[in-house]
Amino acid sequence: MTAPDRRFHLGEILTAATGIYLCPNGLDGFRQFVRHVTGEAHLTHQLGRAGQDIAPHIREQFPWIAEIGDIPPITSEADGLAFLAETAAKYGEYHEVTPMPPGMYVAREPIAEFREMAPHTEIIAVEVDL
């Protein structure tokens, strides 16, 4: 069963669609966005790939993203916030995001993916009592 639509900030939507980090809610905001769209939890090192994987779904859902064109260079938080404010004035600050249909996204095992990304890095597992 697919999760219901959920509202997300324009920054999370554009981050997934363009690969340019524009999340005013921080990395946790993008992590929540990716989890909603894919139905899967991701570790930090998986977010870039997951964002690329969901980009076509997001661009299809929000065809007006193509109208935005090239995002100007973002060299500071102030640049990013100014761009988002200008863009939100035209397209809206929050949007209902529909998750991908079941089976459309293929999750990856986090440790195996990390080993592929950094094959020469030693991995030390730590168990934490919560």
Residues 50-80: pLDDT tens digits?
A: 999 999 999 999 999 999 988 999 999 999 9
Bridging pattern class, strands 94-97 and 6-9: antiparallel
**Mean pLDDT of the 100-121 span:** 83
Task: Give residue limits of the domains in the chain.
Answer: 6-117
Average pLDDT, the chain: 90
Distance of CA 58 to the CA centre of its chain: 10
Give CA–CA dist 20/111, Å, rounded.
Answer: 25
User: Do residues 10 and 31 lie in contact, with contact meaning Cβ atoms separated by under 8 Å?
Assistant: no
| pLDDT for 104 | 83
pLDDT value at position 84?
95
